[in-house]
């Protein structure tokens, strides 16, 4: 127990000059000596909160960290909450980003992550009482409510449903490629239980890599469960976790609709874990990556925001942390894809700077963020900055990662694009860029196969550069011919 003066003097004070809002106003009724009500107030106020004894202190802390505040970290040794800044969400954003379901089940009104009301049994969300009553009487919720509750609540029910839909889409998309093949895991054409067909969304070629999504999911679940049961550290668990997104045969990432199906599978498997469990956040990240890979960028944005907000509440006590930087990088990618390019490039710059400080220039994560930052610069036509960054970092990637690594190929392609694009590109720049893209296309075809999205994108880039080079050469040739045919007049 603290003495009264110590209790009264433990105030929450943000760092000097901080504009971050810790939390609006939270109140705890009862439990305080003398009938007082402890509260946590806006951090812009002079005194942000008071603690009277340990039990109330813990309750204040629990409410504060669950409030969707800008960022809070608890220091047990000194007994105070310390604010820190995570870029990527506005200071005024106090929403609790926990769920993925964000619309009314009846009228599809956007509710964000905190508006509206929920069914008391299954947590299905509504914009108000009228829609809830209508859904019960006319929408069939009276029949579904117990089923949703049994499945684990609205969030779990939604994830299960989305997974089933994503598998159907993936099987249909891959139908032509998988005709007459069998699963390399269970050796059957149709899954014994779900009767689903086959998919292949990696870089395997020939008769390799065909599988049922359900078989891939079971393999990933078992491998990671064994790692947890054996209490392995994360150096050993990470390769097993990658089975949620990486083919075990060609060792390349799944893409498109297959990545989306695996993302939903991963999320529905681990969404019930506490937010303080790192696996919960990793599953959310895998879902976001899968949605983005299948071009569901608006859905991916909701997941990215939820993941970043979760880290604000329960994550590390520093913005310079691997998990924070990873989520910020993913959020920037989503901003890029939905057209918020200025926000993307600003966030990319911060993430790249953070990676340099945290990991050094030769780290894979740092090189990846250098590439991403350069892409963002190209998209807003800051070609010279992109060219300078790529010329500095691409040789490092070639030396550290090797010529055939996917990131090295992407960085070289970006380097070629930055040479060819922009008003200052010369004929020599176009020729050098075309030669580089031709080398990359051959390597990509060998490493990934002709059907891989990166190979197809490189071929498209190469066609554009070739056309631009032909146009420029024809133009120069025409000018030379005109100059040669011109005769000087008499003086």
Same domain, 159 and 266: yes
Among 103, 124, 151, the domain boundary falls at 151
Residue 436 lies in a domain: no
pLDDT in tens, 355-409: 999 999 999 999 999 999 999 998 898 988 988 999 999 999 999 999 999 999 9
Q: What is the structure's pLDDT at 451?
A: 83
pLDDT in tens, 7-25: 223 323 333 333 332 222 2
Cα distance between residue 363 and residue 397, in whole Å: 9
- Find out whether 166 and 211 touch, Cβ atoms under 8 Å: no
Question: For 7-11, 124-128, 166-170, 470-474, which range has the lowest pLDDT when averaged over its residues?
Answer: 7-11
Cα distance between residue 79 and residue 416, in whole Å: 54
Same domain, 123 and 188: no
**Confidence band (pLDDT; 50, 70, 90) for 228?**
very high
Residue 477 lies in a domain: no
Same domain, 109 and 183: no
Residue 133 lies in a domain: yes
Per DSSP, the three-state class of 247 is coil
Could you tell me which of 172, 244, 235, 246 has the C-alpha nearest to residue 209? 246
Among 31, 54, 82, the domain boundary falls at 82
Q: Which residue has the tokens 């839909």?
A: 165
Same domain, 37 and 114: no
Q: What is the structure's pLDDT at 19?
A: 31
Long-range (24+ apart) CB contacts under 8 A made by 265-273 are 265/163, 265/213, 265/216, 265/217, 265/220, 266/220, 266/290, 267/100, 267/159, 268/156, 268/159, 268/160, 268/162, 268/163, 269/217, 269/221, 271/155, 271/156, 271/159, 272/152, 272/156
Residue 271 lies in a domain: yes
Same domain, 171 and 276: yes
Q: What is the structure's pLDDT at 355?
A: 94
The answer for residues whose C-beta is within 8 angstroms of residue 329's C-beta and 6 or more apart is: 347, 348, 351, 368, 369, 372
Tell me the pLDDT of the chain averaged across its residues.
76
Neighbours of 46 (CB within 10 A): 7
Residue 327 lies in a domain: no
> DSSP string covering 432-486, please?
HHHHHHHHHHHHHHHHT-TTSHHHHHHHHHHHHHHHHHHHHHHHHHHHHHHHHH-
Q: What is the structure's pLDDT at 31?
A: 32
Same domain, 257 and 192: yes
The terminus-to-terminus CA distance of the chain in angstroms comes to: 107
Phi, psi of 31 (to 5 degrees): 85, -10
Same domain, 56 and 104: no
- Give the residues across from 49 on adjacent strands: 40
Same domain, 168 and 202: yes
Q: What is the structure's pLDDT at 296?
A: 95
Residue 46 lies in a domain: yes
Same domain, 66 and 127: no
- Give the residues across from 19 on adjacent strands: none
Same domain, 264 and 177: yes
Residue 302 lies in a domain: no
**pLDDT surpasses 50 at 486:** no
Same domain, 187 and 242: yes
Q: Which residue has the tokens 């960028």?
A: 297
Same domain, 159 and 276: yes
Among 82, 116, 132, the domain boundary falls at 82
Q: What is the structure's pLDDT at 364?
A: 93
Provide the number of structural domains found in the chain: 3
Give the structural domain span for 26: 4-82
Residue 35 lies in a domain: yes
């Amino acid at each position: 127990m603290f003495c009264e003066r110590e209790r009264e003097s433990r105030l929450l004070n943000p760092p000097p000059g901080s504009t971050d809002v810790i939390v609006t106003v939270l109140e705890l009724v009862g439990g305080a000596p003398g009938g007082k009500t402890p509260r946590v107030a806006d951090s812009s106020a002079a005194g942000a909160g008071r603690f009277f004894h340990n039990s109330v202190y813990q309750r204040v802390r629990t409410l504060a960290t669950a409030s969707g505040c800008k960022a809070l970290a608890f220091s047990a040794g000194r007994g105070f909450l310390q604010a820190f800044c995570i870029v990527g969400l506005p200071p005024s954003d106090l929403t609790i980003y926990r769920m993925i379901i964000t619309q009314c089940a009846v009228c599809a009104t956007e509710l964000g992550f905190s508006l509206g009301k929920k069914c008391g049994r299954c947590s299905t969300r509504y914009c108000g009482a009228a829609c809830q009553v209508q859904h019960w009487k006319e929408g069939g919720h009276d029949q579904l409510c117990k089923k949703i509750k049994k499945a684990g609540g609205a969030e779990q029910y939604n994830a299960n449903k989305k997974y089933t839909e994503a598998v159907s889409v993936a099987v249909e998309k891959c139908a032509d490629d998988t005709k007459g093949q069998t699963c390399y895991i269970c050796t059957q054409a149709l899954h014994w239980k779900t009767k689903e067909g086959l998919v292949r969304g990696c870089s395997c070629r020939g008769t390799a890599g065909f599988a049922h999504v359900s078989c891939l999911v079971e393999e990933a679940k078992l491998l990671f469960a064994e790692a947890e049961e054996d209490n392995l550290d994360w150096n050993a668990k990470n390769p097993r976790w990658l089975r949620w997104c990486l083919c075990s045969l060609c060792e390349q990432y799944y893409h498109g609709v297959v990545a989306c199906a695996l993302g939903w599978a991963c999320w529905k498997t681990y969404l019930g874990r506490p937010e303080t469990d790192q696996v919960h956040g990793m599953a959310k990240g895998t879902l976001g990556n899968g949605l983005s890979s299948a071009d569901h960028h608006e859905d991916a944005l909701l997941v990215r925001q939820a993941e970043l907000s979760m880290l604000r509440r329960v994550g590390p006590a520093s913005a310079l942390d691997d998990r924070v930087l990873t989520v910020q990088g993913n959020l920037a990618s989503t901003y890029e894809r939905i057209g918020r390019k200025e926000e993307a490039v600003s966030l990319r710059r911060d993430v790249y700077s953070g990676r340099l400080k945290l990991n050094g220039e030769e780290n894979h994560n740092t090189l990846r963020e250098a590439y991403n930052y350069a892409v963002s610069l190209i998209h807003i036509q800051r070609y010279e900055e992109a060219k300078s960054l790529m010329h500095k970092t691409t040789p490092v990637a070639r030396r550290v990662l090797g010529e055939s690594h996917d990131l090295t190929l992407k960085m070289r392609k970006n380097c070629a694009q930055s040479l060819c694009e922009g008003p200052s590109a010369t004929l020599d720049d176009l020729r050098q860029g075309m030669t580089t893209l031709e080398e990359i296309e051959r390597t990509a075809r060998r490493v990934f196969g002709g059907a891989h999205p990166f190979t197809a994108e490189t071929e498209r880039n190469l066609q554009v550069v070739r056309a631009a080079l032909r146009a420029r050469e024809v133009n120069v040739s025409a000018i030379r011919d005109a100059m040669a045919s011109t005769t000087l007049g008499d003086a």
